[in-house]
Amino acid sequence: MNTPLAERIRPETLEEYLSQNHLIGPNGALTTQLKNGLLSSMILWGPPGTGKTTLANIVANRTDRPFYTLSAVDSGVAAVREVIEKAKKKDTLFATKNPILFIDEIHRFSKSQQDSLLGAVEKGWITLIGATTENPSFEVIPALLSRCQVYVLKAFTKSDLEALLERAIAKDTLLSKKEITLKETEALLRLSGGDARKLLNMLELVVLSENTEKVEITNAMVTQKVQKNTVLYDKTGEQHYDIISAFIKSIRGSDPNAAVYWLARMIEGGEDVKFIARRLVILASEDIGNANPTALVLANTTFQSVNTIGYPEARIILSQCTIYLATSAKSNASYAAINEAQRLVKQTGDLSVPLSIRNAPTKLMKELGYGKNYEYAHNYEGNFVPHEFLPETIEGTQLYRPGNNPRENQLRNHLKNLWKTKYNF
């Protein structure tokens, strides 16, 4: 039997589906939709191996709809249009039960590929279910995202994964023929990185490699049989997150040697070039900011360049940007300022804009005092005049505190000269 264990015991009903009660439990977000059969287009976002494809199949069966599936890895615009044409022909037959188009790894679709879905989703020819391991806010175009509900699948807990192992041992046609004892599970859980599909396939590898009817699974046994076959970098698993964390922290810690090493690990593992470049853009603002504003310019240019060039040459551009950011002065002052500002907004609510700095496009607004006593900075020496721009109840609140680096020290002195004693720069 060539079918992997994960496929052989794939759940076919919601009753068999493991976890995700926030979506399919009694009060789950999908439960009501499934009960009435009126299903909206959706994006299923979650870690690898958490049942996104399985859930899409169950939803299609539960609502009795035609089901088409495409993989973003090997499907282009032509494949999308072909499915849409089939769906349009079936639309007259199925009325409210329009076909479901499931797209795995939808984050890998280009803008033009995603654009090709818009009309069909908007007109109701298809109900789109997209699956992604990446944040859809970054990877799905806004027009398509606005037409979809985003449902987040949570990582499996230890008890979920252990229950999955027990179910496989008891119900699978091959494994149930053996007398299997799960003495230890830590190695299986650790090496799978929480990916249920990988977990089951490792279980099968371990069990079938034993030519005995009785199999006792221990951590040592699993490590011996599986670890040597585990890739050093899994861009969809736990190391994906561990290595990007090491990469970012090395740059933040001003260690170009470690940063380039972790970059190389990702490149050799086939990591998505956009994923690396996007994290560099975020870091350039979060960890460097106004200590060196050119860092953000270079990081953004890097993001644009590597998207145009791709591997293998993109590695050179990523290396240049990584080293530049790692060796740059650091400041998280801008990051801290917006965090503090958002905290203040949540605490104080929607405070009124001071009348003096409100817009006054009509005569009535002017009569009501909108814009009154506003002092135009460019009419004063040095293009500055002291004025209160914050709401009255939080006047004088300081949110930005310059970092201790040459450039922001200059900014601090400049702001001190302007504001004198109002703010403690």
Rounding to the nearest 10 degrees, give the CA dihedral for residues 52, 53, 59, 62. Answer: -130
Helices (H), 63-217: 77-94, 111-123, 136-139, 142-145, 158-171, 186-192, 196-208
Tens digit of pLDDT for each residue in 288-298?
999 999 999 99
- In order of 106, 129, 137, the CA distances from 150 in angstroms are 13, 10, 10
Q: Give the integer Cα–Cα distance in Å for 365 and 372.
A: 10
Mean pLDDT score, 22-46: 86
Strand partners for 215: 180
Going from the N-terminus, what domains does the chain have, and what CATH number goes with each?
A: 20-152 (3.40.50.300), 158-229 (1.10.8), 238-327 (1.20.272.10), 353-419 (no CATH)
Tens digit of pLDDT for each residue in 296-350?
999 999 999 998 888 889 999 999 999 999 999 999 999 999 999 999 998 888 8
Residue 364 banded pLDDT, cuts 50, 70, 90? confident
Coil vs helix vs strand at 405:
coil
Residue 1 banded pLDDT, cuts 50, 70, 90? low
Q: Give the integer Cα–Cα distance in Å for 298 and 277.
A: 11
Tell me, yes or no, if the pTM score tops 0.75. Answer: no
b/e 330-346 (16+ beta carbons within 10 angstroms → b): bbbbbebbeeeeeeeee
Q: Which residues make Cβ contacts (< 8 Å) with residue 387, sequence separation at least 6?
A: 356, 357, 374, 375, 377
- In order of 211, 242, 255, 295, 330, the CA distances from 262 in angstroms are 40, 10, 11, 20, 20
Q: Are 306 and 317 in contact (CB under 8 A)?
A: yes
Mean pLDDT, the chain, rounded, equals 87
| CB-count exposure of residue 213 (10 Å: 0-12, 13-18, 19+) | exposed
Kindly tell me if the per-residue pLDDT of 26 is higher than 90.
no
Could you give the angle at the alpha carbon of 230 between the alpha carbons of 226 and 233, nearest 5°? 160
H or E element: which one contains 216? Answer: strand 214-217
Coil vs helix vs strand at 152:
strand
CA atoms within 13 A of residue 70's CA, in its CB half-sphere: 26
Q: Are 179 and 225 in contact (CB under 8 A)?
A: no
Q: Which of 1-5, 94-98, 151-155, 383-387 has the lowest mean pLDDT?
A: 94-98
**What was the pLDDT predicted at 251?**
95
In percent, the amount of the chain with pLDDT more than 70 equals 94
H or E element: which one contains 69? Answer: strand 67-71
